[in-house]
Structure formats: C-alpha cells, structure tokens
Amino acid sequence: MKFTYNGQTTEVELNKYSKTLTQDPTQPATQAMFYGIGFKDEDFDKAQVGIVSMDWDGNPCNMHLNQLGQKVKASVDATQDLLGLQFHTIGVSDGIANGTDGMRYSLVSREVIADSIETNAGGEYYDGIVGIPGCDKNMPGTIIGMARLDRPSIMVYGGTIAHGEYNGESLNIVSAFEALGEKLTGNISDEDYHGVISNAIPGQGACGGMYTANTMAAAIETLGMSLPFSSTNPAKSDEKQREAASVGEYMKTLLARDIKPSDIMTREAFEDAITVVMVLGGSTNAVLHLIAMARTVGIELTQDDFQEISDRTPVIGDFKPSGKYMQEDFHRIGGLPALLKFLLKEGRIHGERLTVTGKTLAENVENAVTLDFDKQDVIRPFDNPVKATGHLQILYGNLASGGSVAKISGKEGEQFTGTARVFNGEQHFIEGIETGRLHAGDVAVIKNIGPVGAPGMPEMLKPTSALIGAGLGKSVALITDGRFSGGTHGFVVGHIVPEAVKGGVIGLVEDDDIIEIDAINNTINLKVSDEELAKRRAAYQLPEPKATRGVLAKFAKLTDDAAHGCVTDF
C-alpha cells in the first residue's frame, strides 16, 4: 500500500508477518480457520494487530481492561488496512496477595505475561501488538514480551484509581495496610478499622500513589512506548477512553515506518526513564524491571547506573507513600508531559528520541502545560526539592556484596546502626510486632524470601506498613533479600544480593548482631568478624526448597538474581 508521512509517499508493506498465514496458497486450512472467525475476503490483505489485556474480574487494577481492549479494537478496525484480534493473559493482584504466600507469584507473573504475549503473538504472526496492562508486574511483562518479538507495539496503561475517603481523610491501598499496625497496637477502633478498609478502594484503576504501577507507567511513557498522558490519564476518565480510541492511526504509522521497540528503547531512553523515576520518588521495583526490560533489547543496564543518576537527580515530586499527593493530582496539573517538558527545558533528559507516536519526545510535549510553581507544589522546582538527591540508593558491603536497593526519602535519616532482630519470613515478623519482640533501635532482618528462597521474591508491604502503623517507622530499619512495594516507606533496604539461600551473609545474621546502614557512603555491613562469619557459614544448613514443582519451582531454577533483574530467559 501507499503511505504518506510528512508529505512523502512511499510503498509500504503493513502485513509483514501475517502474510505468512493469509497470503500463502499452501496454507488453506489456516485460511479456513480465518473464515471461521468471521474474516471477509478483503480482511486477508490487512495487517493483523494483536490486542492483549490482563483483564480479570478479581482486581480493581484490571477489572476494566477488556472494555479498554474493545475500544482499542474498534480503533484498529476503523483504521484502513488494519484488523484487530484480542487475546488475554494473566495477572496477580499485589494488593490482594500481599502478606500471604500468594505474593510469591507476583514477580513470577511478569515472566508468565512476557512468555504468553511472545507465545501468542509469535505463533499467530501478528504484525503489531497493543498491550493493555493494569497492575504493576503487568507493565514490564508486557514490554518484555513486545521487545522479544520486536514488532511495532504500543502500551496503553489501564490508568490510576481515584482516592478513597473516610471521616474526611483521603485514603488509598496503603491506608488499609497501615491500619493493621494501628490495630495491632490498639491505636484504632474496630469501627474505624472497618471504615478505612471498606472505603480505601473506590473502584477501578491501579493504586493511586507513586507506587510501582504508576512508577512503571511513567517510566514506560518516558521510554516512548506509550502515548502521551497514558501514565496519568485516570482509569475512569474521558481522557483514557480517547487514548484507547486513538491507537489505530498510531499503530498504522508504526507499521508503515517499521518502528519497533528496539528503535525506541535506546540507552538514552532508559537513562531518561531512570531520571523520571528519581524525580517522582518512584518504587524500588523500577530497578528490577528496567534492568530486565533493557536486557531484553540488548542494553546493559546495571544497579550502578541507577546510583549514578540518583547522585545528580533531586526528588521533586511530592507523592505518596512518603509525600502528600496522588497520581490524580499529577494529572490535574498537566500530567507526565508537563513534567517531561520541564525536564527537557532543564536539560535533564534527551528530547530527540523516537516514540510510539512516530514523533520525538520533544515533539510530543511541545504543547504540554508549562508547570507553574507558584500555583501548585505537586512538582517542585529543582531549587526547592523534596530531597536534594535521588531516593533510591545502591548499597554494598559484607551484607550485600552483589548490591542492594535502599529507598531513602530523607525523612527517616540517611544512616542507621541498630541491633539485629532476625525473622524467617514476614509472618514471623508480624508475630514479632504482636509480641513486642521488635523495639525502637532494631534492624529487622527478614531472610529466605529472595527470588530463589521464597521462591518469587515477594514484597514486604505488610511488614513495612505494620511498622508505620505501629509507630516504629522512624525508629526501626528493615532489610531483606525480598523486595518492597512501591507503597513502602521508612528506612528499608531490599534486593540484597546474594540472597540467603545462595550463600548470602544475610542468612548468617543472628539476633543482637550490630548492623550498620549508611545511605550517604552507600554501605551496608554486619559488624561481625570474618572469623565468626566463617564459623557460622561452616555450621549453616540451607533450608529445603519451598517449591519443588510448578511455576514457582521453574522460576527458582531459571531466575537470575535481583541485581540482574530476576529474568528467566538468559
């Protein structure tokens, strides 16, 4: 077909992959199957776009994604020479699974999503892919699946949730988790406890603070893999509906110009995504996911790249969990394009990068709102930051020879030395709060919950929220070979490498040891002699594997460590 762009007309082939099935005369059964699903003769010449959503009824983040998928399909079908075909994949609700063994499946779901998108789209020869994720592992899973196939692709984020409200107080998912700590310490009535829980989540959309879902949505829009405003358009908004309805023409441009994920997700794009994660005060999970996504397109991204960007990037977004605002507030002041326009003006990001609009990042945000720092403080200027440098710090030491990730807002201080209290998993930790075993000045050590040890590296949102609710958030540090929710705040260090079951020193810590955490010099050390550690190591017995079959056992066998993104296909 002929395609005109910027005044130039060229002959292009849109059905580069699907023609294998639709145009080959030796594939009569294949073509019969297409007639069986309702193809007309003219449909065999169209490019096929696979539209995949993680829709399922059991999670507010995902419950509306099929409706968005239908809107996207209508847009694709209405675009000349394109035809949309919907399919679905799975998800795990972190908000529901957190605090249970079900959370072991959360990070694993990222790999299952990537595998299933690659499998369906690869097997069915789709020419392009539109992914519609909701909850946080959905997004990197979608991008990894797209990148493996490296065909024209667009991600449409399901959107953020509105805030809840009870007794005049604004609520979100973390409010419910923190209410548990208040209940355990007798600081909330049964009536108010129920009131918080029953009003925290008002409907569809992903968790509303700068938690992992909104962090990854912002990072992916910055990368250029979703349309402008995708990360900040609320789930229940006309803007989100219009975004879904605009996909067809953008997809046609990508197909005609053969713009692929590898053309968009460049080294500069990942550097810019990290910068945005830092300025917004985003989730520690971004370290895992961006490293994994970069590896898929052949770019070497390390924890040390995060540290380098953190050292020179202030936090200027005042977002929950440690700040005041929600994603819906960000949307009201101009959304991510307004921030990107500001960062471009300040010389913090690269503007001449290609995006899924077919235009550069600078072109996408040219007409965005100019942030007015006299009228809003959701985003602050660089001369009045929330924190002078980045909140994500990469710490090394004898407790983490392969690195670890700390989330330091600055409000809880930047150095902590305390007495170890060791817990074998998060339920053991919750019992420690209930029984008063954990005191101010302690460093809680939750071990054996890494990628292999859990397996699945579950988030520790229940423990960190319980700490905050119990009034210990500023006086107790927490370290783990697991990971944290984007909703976590306090003095926390996760992603410790090597993990306990891989011989990490975290597995050798004993009660009353002294642990020194220094987020200024980026160190984390157990103050025990090498001789004593050698004695402990000689006596140490690895725990039995917690999963011997099924998807968790596969993940434990295949996964790389947290420093390398916990990917399973390298």
Strands 492-497, 477-480: pairing kind: parallel
Q: Are residues 335 and 267 in the same domain?
A: yes
Has 485 been annotated as catalytic? yes
Distance of CA 444 to the CA centre of its chain: 25
207 is in an annotated binding site: no
DSSP-based three-state secondary structure for 194: helix
Residues 346, 405 within the same domain: no
Residue 569 CA from chain centroid, whole number: 19
Domain co-membership, 117 together with 75: yes
pLDDT at 479: 95
> Cβ contacts of residue 7 below 8 Å, gap of 6+?
none
399 and 466 both lie in a single domain:
yes
What is the reported pLDDT for 489? 67
Note whether 434 and 348 are same-domain residues. Answer: no
Q: Which residue among 365, 383, 417 closes a domain?
A: 365
| Cα 383 to chain centroid, rounded | 29
Asked whether 533 and 510 are in contact (CB, 8 A), the reply is no
Q: Residue written as tokens 């594939």? A: 27
The continuous run of DSSP H or E covering 343 comes out as helix 335-345
Angle ∠(398,402,405) on CA atoms, nearest 5: 95
Cβ pair 189, 179 in contact under 8 A = no
243 in Cβ contact with 70 (< 8 Å): no
pLDDT tens sequence for the chain (570 residues): 778 877 888 889 999 999 999 999 999 999 999 999 999 999 999 999 999 999 999 999 999 999 999 999 999 999 999 999 999 999 999 989 988 999 999 999 999 999 999 999 999 999 999 999 999 899 999 999 999 999 999 999 999 999 999 998 888 888 888 888 788 888 899 999 999 999 999 999 999 999 999 999 999 999 999 999 999 999 999 999 999 999 999 999 999 999 999 999 999 999 999 999 999 999 999 999 999 999 999 999 999 999 999 999 999 999 998 899 999 999 999 999 999 999 999 999 999 999 999 999 999 999 999 999 999 999 999 999 999 999 999 999 999 999 999 988 777 788 999 999 999 988 899 888 888 899 999 999 999 999 999 999 999 888 888 888 888 888 999 999 999 876 666 789 999 999 999 999 999 999 999 999 999 999 999 999 999 999 999 999 988 999 999 999 999 999 999 999 999 998
Per the structure, the count of domains in the chain is 2
Judge whether 549 lies within some domain.
yes
> Is 239 a member of any domain?
yes
Which entry of 153, 246, 485, 529 is annotated as an active-site residue? Answer: 485
Instruction: Specify the pLDDT at position 485.
Output: 79
Are 530 and 413 in a shared domain? yes
Please state, in angstroms and rounded to a whole number, the distance separating the CA atoms of residues 380 and 318: 8
- pTM for this predicted structure: 0.95
61 is in an annotated binding site: yes
CA distance 416 to 408: 11
- Would you list the DSSP string of 201-217? --SSSB-SSSSHHHHHH
Q: How far is it, in rounded angstroms, from Cα 301 to Cα 365?
A: 26
Q: Is 387 annotated as a binding residue?
A: no
- 137 appears as a binding residue in the annotation: yes
Given a contact cutoff of 8 angstroms between Cβ atoms, the answer to whether 209 and 465 are in contact is: no
The pLDDT of residue 488 is: 67
Q: What's residue 436's pLDDT?
A: 87
Whether 402 and 546 share a structural domain: yes
* Amino acid in the structure at residue 419: T
Under 8 Å between Cβ of 513 and 527: yes
Rounded CA separation 317/339 (Å): 10
Residue 187 in domain: no
* Structural domain for 536, as ranges: 392-564
Query: Is 375 part of any domain?
Result: no
CB atoms within 10 A of CB 331: 21
Q: Assess whether 402 and 461 both reside in one domain.
A: yes
Q: Is 329 annotated as a binding residue?
A: no
Phi-psi region of 260 (alpha: psi -120 to 50; beta: other; left: phi over 0): beta
Helices (H), 3-84: 19-22, 28-36, 65-77
Distance CA 94, CA 201 (A): 14
Of 315, 347, 365, which residue is a domain's last? Answer: 365
Residues 361 and 403 in one domain: no
User: Which pLDDT does position 454 carry in this prediction?
Assistant: 96
Tell me, rounded to whole angstroms, the distance of Cα 192 from its chain centroid.
31
Is the residue at 403 inside a domain? yes
